[in-house]
Structure 1
Amino acid sequence: MDKVPMTVRGEKLLRDELEVLLKRRPLISKAIGEARELGDLKENAEYHAAREEQGICEAQIRDIEYKLSVAQVIDVTKMTNTGKVIFGTTVTLIDVNTDEEVKYQIVADDEANIKEGRISVNSPIARGLIGKMEGDEVNIQTPGGTKEFEIDAVDYI
């Protein structure tokens, strides 16, 4: 089984979500028990809703446990900053054509959120940046066309 890279932040978020779901388990079981006491299960909406909620909760628990089992947590704060773009680093880019500055952290697919400045390691921009050095100019093929960036800073934070 291949390991999947994950940031320390991503692992913490998954563990926190798992903890919440595990605390919901007994509450859902209690709701199922109370709904059973109401009588005929065929026409018991509360029972069916509680069972559906239980199924969703269990599926989410299995999904998170699987993700954690295949995760290779990478803590870039413990690495020496060489100026090289790697998984987990935060990269400040300057668009050569517009002088616009953007900052991205390269994270796992599940952690990506462009509005928060986190891009997937499998995104075109991240693939174009991995292995490059601070100060390099890179041409990246994006869905909107080729963009030229200068790597202004690489932070291991």
Structure 2
Amino acid sequence: MDAYLGLFAISFLAATLLPAYSEVVFAGLLATGHAPWALWAWATAGNTLGAALNWTIGRWLLRFQDRRWFPVNGAGLKTAQRWFQRWGVWSLLLAWAPVGGDALTFIAGMMRVRFPVFLLLTATGKGLRYAVLLGLVEIGRQFWP
């Protein structure tokens, strides 16, 4: 159980703005014989909840946009809003991406995307990412037993 909780924790951290690589832990646990679909479920849940934390912070932090210390200036915020309005909530399917995915979930909170929609799209994208990784590791096992 410790392995699954550890994967959950690293997956959660990987979805926040902190640097962490859950894919390495996921693949390592697969290689050591842990249950593949249990790993998929724990990693997807942790990564999705980490993204939900970003959404919450984005939603909460927006009330301070007029403060000097706010992390995004007015022009940057307008650019992010225009980008998000152009691509819409469907872009949340890409929240798993290593570059920009975390920021996307933060921006979704700032843009007040409804939480159920956010959660569904983000979990779908993240779940698909771990499913692809699961498949790649299984294929790799055939060539390097």
User: What TM-score do you get using the length of structure 2 for normalisation?
Assistant: 0.34
Structure possessing the higher radius of gyration over alpha carbons: 1
Query: Which structure features the higher share of helix residues?
Result: 2
Q: Which has the higher contact order (CA 8 A, sep 6+)?
A: 2
Query: Which structure features the higher share of strand residues?
Result: 1
